[in-house]
Structure 1
Amino acid sequence: MGKKKVLVSYGVDIDAVAGWLGSYGGEDSTSDISRGLWAGTVGTQRLLKLFDKYNIKATWFIPGHTLDTFPEDCAAVRDAGHEIGLHGYSHENPADMTFAQQRDVLDKTYKQITAFCGGKPPRGSVAPWWETSKEGTELLLSYGIEYDHSMSHEDHQCYWLRTGDEWTKIDYSKTAVEWMKPLIRGTMTGLVEIPGSWYIDDLPPMMFIKGAANSHGWVNPRDVEQIWMDHFDYFYREYDEFVFPMTIHPDVSGRPHVVLMHERIIEHINKHEGVEWVTMEQMADDFKKNNTVPEGAMMPAPRGEILKLQKEGKAYSLVDYEGPMPK
């Protein structure tokens, strides 16, 4: 066994009300919206307390709707020194949006976060529902976004994101020859992908969603933590270097039984040599420092350049990004 280098990170998605508007089917339910209000306040504050207890800096991916609806709670995240990244406005599914809709959501939320963080543009993004699009990736690159945390080509290492893969769906109204074709790989980019895993995500097993047939919500957190710990222990046994990003939501992990689960997971991880708790931008920077960008890759624009181009009238800008124009 060689010297260990293990980068561990929490990615916190404050879905709150936005999650119910964009993904969970609760947009017409006062009960579900109420749960979103709880997540944006009580759940968020409990996670801040958890991270403070263990001296952990996390990356919080905050929808624009959450920033607008819970400014004081989001300010507490910022002021505690955590990183803030993109996560849509109302947790919209990029795969369901037009190019113009994706562009406008990105433009608004990019400017929101930049202003909220005192002029520091966001460096990373998580696609709501972990659904991405070719246009969305190209938009992220044009805005200078340097890493994404939505895909699963790897499970223990960061990698350079490829975009534009093509595959043929089965159509039983046609001959089999027409669908028996391999996946065609797309174009490499200079966007760092920090792998996401549905198996290391608190929401699928521990959040009750009325509109989802396979929704759980009452899973024993000790069963979930065992899965997470088994992932960590396997990686630690098999690899001298690996990353371990965990995806959580105040909507779930702010609940008492799940906060206690995280305390046990953190204490388990901290028993191992070579572990360093980092933000996801630090994780991405470490990968870039040690890996060469593929030749011919589509590269992110310089950080913050889009704002300069917009000011000069050389790039598209959503006119009413701070609210509807007066009639």
Structure 2
Amino acid sequence: MQVRIAFAVDVDPDYTVEEGGRRKTKGKTRLSFVHTKKGLAWLLEFLREERVPATFFFEARTAKKLSRDFNLRAIAKKYEIGCHGYEHEDLTALSEKEKRKVVMKARKTVASLFGTTPAGWSSPYWKSDSSTRRILRDCGFKYEANVCGETEETAEGFVLLRTPKKCALWALMEGKRGAKEHAALLKGDAVIATHSWHTDYGESGKAKDSAERRMRLREIVRLLKSGGARFVTVGELAKGFKGLAR
């Protein structure tokens, strides 16, 4: 049976840290979008060259910022567009009223900027709960692409894509795992996810420069393709998704 792989990108501000359910800059006085802008430009060219479909989950605030430099509606014609919060909120730390307000505001903003209504949601910090998924469904979302355990409950009529944290591309991008090792983890349908800024900026690790991280990303994509995997959007993967074989 052919394995389906969905390539997902969370598009949000340059690397920051969580604090009190909100996003705070790491050692800076204000948010930066320099690396996410450069990374997104590279990713769009990379995906075009490799002929790989993908889903971009945009944080609404970041989408507004990048609308000055990118033709967002043109991007939406080539790739699936989803939501990644409004200001990278941890929805599990909010009341139901606050959650609903954030979800609706994010969806409305992304729809307005891209000219298409998003069906998918990627929760910031990989944090979600049954209340969040019920609200997402009620606000018109069809699925959530998240890193969740097998015991997580979902709302009726709503798809939760359960993919272990180990399938995220963080370790690969930071040089802590090789492409062959990562590919060996993907024995079933799965989402492999990265951040737009991560192709232009990294933390500590062996992959210290953007050229090396980009090479690693290209290597894993080509390795999966040569192994017979079929790349799809996250929305397509959500149809009949059963999760990665552990």
What TM-score, normalized to structure 2? 0.82
- Displacement, 1:267? 1.4
Superposed CA offset, 1:214-268 (max 9, x none): xxxxx425x2434312213xx1xxxxxx312101012213432111001111111
Superposed CA offset, 1:9-29 (max 9, x none): 111001225955875642661
Corresponding residue to 1:108 among 99, 105, 108: 105
CA 1:83–1:27: 2 relative to 1, 3 Å: same
Structure 2 residue 134 is the aligned partner of structure 1 residue 134: no
Unaligned regions of 5+ residues in structure 2, if any? 201-209
- The alignment yields a C-alpha RMSD, in angstroms, of 2.8
The one-letter code sitting in structure 1 at the alignment partner of 2:153 is: R
Please identify which structure carries the higher strand content: 2
Aligned partner of 2:199 in structure 1 is 253
Superposed CA offset, 1:64-88 (max 9, x none): 1111111133617725611111111
CA 1:196–1:251: 2 relative to 1, 3 Å: farther
The one-letter code sitting in structure 1 at the alignment partner of 2:156 is: T
Pairing 1:65-214 to 2, within 5 Å after superposition: 65-71=61-67, 72-73=69-70, 75=72, 78-79=75-76, 81-118=78-115, 120-154=116-150, 162-163=153-154, 189-203=156-170
The one-letter code sitting in structure 1 at the alignment partner of 2:49 is: K
**Structure 2 residue matching 1:61: 3-state secondary structure:** strand
What TM-score, normalized to structure 1? 0.63
Aligned partner of 1:54 in structure 2 is 50
CA 1:48–1:99: 2 relative to 1, 3 Å: same
- Displacement, 1:194? 1.7
Structure 2 residue 33 is the aligned partner of structure 1 residue 37: yes
How many residue pairs get aligned? The number is 230
* Cα distance in 1, alignment partners of residues 94 and 26 from structure 2: 18
* Cα distance in 2, alignment partners of residues 92 and 74 from structure 1: 26
Unaligned regions of 5+ residues in structure 1, if any? 164-187, 207-218, 236-241, 291-327
Structure 2 residue 223 is the aligned partner of structure 1 residue 268: yes
Percent of residue pairs identical: 19
The one-letter code sitting in structure 1 at the alignment partner of 2:227 is: H
The one-letter code sitting in structure 2 at the alignment partner of 1:263 is: R
Corresponding residue to 1:279 among 227, 233, 242: 233
Aligned partner of 2:175 in structure 1 is 220
* Cα distance in 2, alignment partners of residues 197 and 73 from structure 1: 32
CA contact (8 A) 1:162 1:189 kept: no
* Cα distance in 2, alignment partners of residues 190 and 153 from structure 1: 19
CA 1:83–1:18: 2 relative to 1, 3 Å: farther
**Structure 2 residue matching 1:16: 3-state secondary structure:** coil
- Displacement, 1:100? 2.0
CA 1:51–1:77: 2 relative to 1, 3 Å: farther
Structure possessing the higher radius of gyration over alpha carbons:
1
